[in-house]
């Protein structure tokens, strides 16, 4: 039998050389997600270069125009270039999502490790407190807190971090409970290892992988959540170009121009789709046991 | 089982009491006087004092919390200091609209999502399965407010085939239903995707079980195997998800109600927040939280009832 080198073999060799990302890129939907995430990241990095105008630059005579050579995606009610606002909006999306998920992750790990390792009354009280925070649907919790603190970028980050913390705390706690039953942890303990050593050297590393996967999956959820709060006027304040603010401006002028809603909505959907596909493929690659919930 | 039920019920009551405590303490986190921020800067001192008394703000914090827990556990949210109307009445008139919206959306999601998931699972790796997979992921990534805005733009503004806002003419059921279609679809989109994927995954898992293969080997008809043994078991995880779903749909209703100018819990809470009317915020948020917790509890119980192999008191850590 004659061996025929397939045209994709060089690409396959390239993928073999990249440990985790290579496996993600091998899946068609994972590759699509990776491309969208890459484009999004480049947009965030190169926003000032890519945007044809300043995001707040007004041109009242050109307001609410459709796509044209001067304004590829059209303009909003103040004549601001929609493309530039959407490009700069990517910075707000990521600028809120990463610190918010970071706060939730850090808070969740501390609470979950403490509750899971201490056990007893500490664990019981922590569970009741987590339940009581999770009794509020996230949107409602965010609405109430933002109404008190006032709308701003920092407050949105804090609120999302707070709303997401119980989820991470629960997963950390469950991982701690299961890991501490393992024989190697018991052996370590019987050899006289300190609590600190067991907790940070043996339990924490086992907890980190599922949490990082969860964090990757949460990024798109947080991006849409932030845009939703800004749409309600409780998140980022105008003229800062959050995609939610562009949607909200477009909603006020929905009968005059469909373009702000169309472009901001599509951008939000495509970005979320990209992160979701990437996150899910990454999860399947890193932890195939969890892939049952994936429908692809 | 009985111990578990009692424990779970006691936990639910405790959580709800804590929620009341948080919501009562909330007004003290706001900078300034809550009565002043409700009445505005021009309110006279007498009116402010009366409002403070009506809101219990003239009492020590612990008494305020105790009074709030006592009143709410006895089914009273008090009186709106602004309109003089009972807050129970305000919540009572808003709640049915949100419940109808959430249930209709969930129904739509089940009617569309389940057949999609079943088709995908019974035709795995076919090109239609792949298309369904992309459709379900895309549905999941469409937030309710973007879906709502797109539907509004397309069907109400561009083609003008659907009503844009409100509930419709009072007493006209057909008009009510017509006004419900766009908001319900907007809210259902995400859940169509979730359910399709969930059903596909759980059905594939069930179809690979030994008892299904044994039934096939015994020569039972594929239709009987599928509907009586496979689908019934594959639908069980959906019950747990629907419990969380109904709570999330009620929260997502905030956006949809505002976009389509529908009265409901979302609009009530949002307007109360904008007007700094904390007694109404407390009543609205508490009602949503109560329904959210109750839906989760019921889903848990239904889950155990439908699949007796699940012993929740042993599973919970």
> What domains can be seen in chain A, in order of their start residue?
29-295 (1.10.3720.10)
Specify if B81 maps to a domain: no
**Are B256 and B200 part of one and the same domain?**
yes
The boundaries of the domain holding residue B283 are 97-316
User: Do residues B66 and B213 both lie within one domain?
Assistant: no
Q: Which two tokens stand for residue B73?
A: 């556990």
The reply to whether B132 and B170 lie within a common domain is yes
Judgement on whether residues B261 and B134 belong to the same structural domain of the protein: yes
Rounded to 10 deg, the angle between the A243-252 and A259-286 helix axes is 150
**Number of folded domains that form chain B:** 2
Above 70 in pLDDT, residue B313? no
pLDDT tens digit sequence for B220-251:
888 888 888 888 888 888 887 887 778 778 87
Whether residue B317 has pLDDT greater than 60: no
Q: Taking CA atoms, what residue in A is nearest to B190?
A: A269
Query: Which ipTM was obtained for this model?
Result: 0.87
Same domain flag for B25 and B158: no
Cα separation, A213 vs A284, whole angstroms: 10
Q: Touching check for B152 and chain A: CB below 8 Å?
A: yes
**Which of B142, B196, B285 minimises the CB distance to A136?**
B285
Instruction: Return the HEC string of chain A.
Output: CCCCCCCCHHHHHHHHHCHHHHHHHHCHHHHHHHHHHHHHHHHHHHHHHHCCCCCCCCCHHHCCCCCCCCCCCCECCCCCEHHHHHHHHHHHHHHHHHHHHHHHHHHHHHHHHHHHHHCHHHHHHHHHHHHHHHCCCHHHHHHHHHHHHCCCHHHHHHHHHHHHHHHHHHHHHHHHHHHCCCHHHHHHHHCCCCHHHHHHHHHHHHHHHHHHHHHHHHHHHHHHHHHHHHHCCCCCCCCCCCHHHHHHHHHHCCCCCCHHHHHHHHHHHHHHHHHHHHHHHHHHHHCHHHHHHCCC
What does the pLDDT read at residue A96? Answer: 95
With b meaning 16 or more CB within 10 Å and e meaning fewer, what string describes A2-34?
eeeeeeeeeeeeebeeeeeeebbbebebbbbbb
> pLDDT, tens digit, for every residue of B191-219?
999 999 999 989 988 888 898 889 889 98
Does B86 reside within a domain? no
* Averaged pLDDT for residues B161-167: 83
pTM summary value: 0.88
Q: What percent of chain B has pLDDT over 90?
A: 29
pLDDT of residue B228: 83
Q: Do B273 and A147 touch (CB under 8 A)?
A: yes
Residue B24: which of B54, B51, B56 has the closest Cα?
B56
Nearest to B30 among A136, A140, A148 (CB): A148
Last residue of a domain, one of B38, B73, B108: B73
CB-nearest partner of A273 from B19, B141, B250: B141
Residue B82: inside a domain: no
Q: Are residues B21 and B55 in the same domain?
A: yes
Same domain? B240 vs B304 = yes
Whether B235 is covered by a domain: the verdict is: yes
The structure tokens 């630059």 sit at: A57
What's the Cα-to-Cα distance from B116 to each of B122, B254, B296, rounded to whole Å? 10, 28, 25
Domain boundary among B39, B73, B107: B73
Which residues of chain B lie closer than 8 angstroms to A295, CB-CB? 117, 120, 133, 136-137, 196-198, 200-201
**pLDDT, one tens digit for every residue, chain A (296 residues):** 444 445 567 777 777 777 778 888 888 888 999 999 999 999 999 999 999 999 989 989 889 998 999 999 999 999 999 999 999 999 999 999 999 999 999 999 999 999 988 888 999 899 889 988 888 888 888 888 887 788 888 999 999 999 999 999 998 998 888 887 788 888 888 888 887 788 888 888 888 878 888 898 899 999 999 999 999 988 888 888 999 999 999 999 999 999 999 999 999 999 999 999 898 888 888 765 554 443 33
Positive/negative CA dihedral, B205, B209, B215, B218: positive
In this predicted model, what pLDDT tens digit does every residue of B9-47 receive, in sequence order?
A: 888 888 888 988 888 887 777 666 777 777 777 778 888
Q: Are residues B189 and B155 in the same domain?
A: yes
B78 occurs within a structural domain: no
Judge if B39 and B183 occupy the same domain.
no
Together in a domain, B68 and B107: no
Q: Are residues B111 and B60 in the same domain?
A: no
CATH code, domain carrying B200: 1.10.3720.10
Based on the domain organization, do B52 and B196 belong to the same domain?
no
The alpha carbon of residue A139 is apart from the nearest alpha carbon of chain B, in Å, by: 6
**Does B54 map to a domain?**
yes
Question: Is residue B145 less than 8 Å (CB to CB) from chain A?
Answer: yes
In a domain, residue B276? The reply is yes
Q: Is residue B141 one of the residues assigned to a domain?
A: yes
Cis geometry, peptide bond prior to residue B237 (ω within 30 degrees of 0): no
CA atoms of B10 and A26, how far apart (whole Å): 50
């Amino acid at each position: 039998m004659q061996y025929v080198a397939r045209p994709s073999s060089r690409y396959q060799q390239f993928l073999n050389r990249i440990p985790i990302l290579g496996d993600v890129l091998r899946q068609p939907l994972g590759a699509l997600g990776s491309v969208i995430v890459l484009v999004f990241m480049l947009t965030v990095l190169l926003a000032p270069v890519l945007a044809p105008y300043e995001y707040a630059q007004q041109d009242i005579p050109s307001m609410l125009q459709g796509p044209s050579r001067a304004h590829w995606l059209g303009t909003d009610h103040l004549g601001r270039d929609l493309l530039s606002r959407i490009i700069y909006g990517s910075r707000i999306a990521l600028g809120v999502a990463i610190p918010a998920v970071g706060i939730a992750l850090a808070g969740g790990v501390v609470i979950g490790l403490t509750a899971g390792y201490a056990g007893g009354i500490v664990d019981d009280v922590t569970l009741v407190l987590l339940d009581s925070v999770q009794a509020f649907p996230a949107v409602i919790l965010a609405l109430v807190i933002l109404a008190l603190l006032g709308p701003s970028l920092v407050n949105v980050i804090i609120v999302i971090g707070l709303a997401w913390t119980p989820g991470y705390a629960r997963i950390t706690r469950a991982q701690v409970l299961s890991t501490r039953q393992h024989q190697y942890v018991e052996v370590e303990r019987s050899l006289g290892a300190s609590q600190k050593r067991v907790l940070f050297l043996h339990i924490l590393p086992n907890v980190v992988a599922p949490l990082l996967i969860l964090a990757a999956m949460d990024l798109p959820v947080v991006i849409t959540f932030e845009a939703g709060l800004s749409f309600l006027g409780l998140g980022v304040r105008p003229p800062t170009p959050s995609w939610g603010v562009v949607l909200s401006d477009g909603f006020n002028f929905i009968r005059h121009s469909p373009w702000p809603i169309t472009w901001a909505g599509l951008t939000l959907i495509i970005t979320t789709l990209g992160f979701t596909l990437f996150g899910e493929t990454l999860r399947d690659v890193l932890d195939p046991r969890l892939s049952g919930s994936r429908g692809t | 089982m009985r111990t578990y039920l009692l424990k779970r019920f006691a936990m639910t009551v405790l959580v709800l009491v804590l929620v009341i405590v948080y919501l009562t303490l909330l007004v003290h986190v706001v900078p300034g006087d809550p009565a002043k921020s409700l009445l505005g800067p021009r309110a006279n001192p007498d009116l402010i004092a009366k409002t403070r008394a009506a809101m219990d703000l003239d009492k020590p914090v612990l008494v305020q919390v105790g009074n709030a827990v006592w009143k709410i556990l006895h089914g009273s949210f008090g009186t709106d200091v602004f309109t003089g109307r009972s807050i129970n009445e305000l919540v009572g008139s808003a709640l049915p609209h949100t419940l109808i919206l959430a249930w209709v959306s969930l129904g739509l999601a089940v009617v569309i999502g389940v057949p999609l998931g079943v088709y995908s699972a019974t035709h795995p790796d076919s090109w239609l399965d792949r298309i369904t997979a992309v459709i379900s992921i895309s549905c999941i990534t469409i937030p309710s407010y973007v879906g709502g805005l797109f539907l509004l733009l397309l069907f109400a503004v561009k083609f003008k085939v659907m009503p844009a806002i409100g509930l419709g003419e009072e007493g006209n059921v057909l008009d009510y239903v017509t006004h419900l279609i766009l908001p319900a679809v907007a809210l259902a989109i995400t859940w169509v995707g979730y359910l399709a994927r969930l059903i596909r995954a759980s059905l594939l898992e069930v179809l690979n079980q030994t008892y299904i293969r044994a039934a096939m080997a015994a020569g039972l008809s594929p239709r009987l195997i599928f509907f009586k043994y496979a689908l019934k078991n594959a639908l069980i995880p959906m019950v747990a998800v629907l419990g969380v779903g109904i709570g999330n749909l009620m929260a997502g209703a905030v956006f949809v109600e505002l976009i389509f100018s529908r009265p409901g819990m979302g609009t009530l809470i949002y307007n109360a927040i904008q007007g700094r009317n904390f007694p109404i915020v407390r009543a609205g948020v508490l009602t949503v939280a109560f329904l959210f917790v109750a839906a989760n509890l019921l889903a848990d119980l239904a889950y155990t009832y439908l699949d007796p192999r699940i012993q929740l008191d042993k599973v919970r850590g």
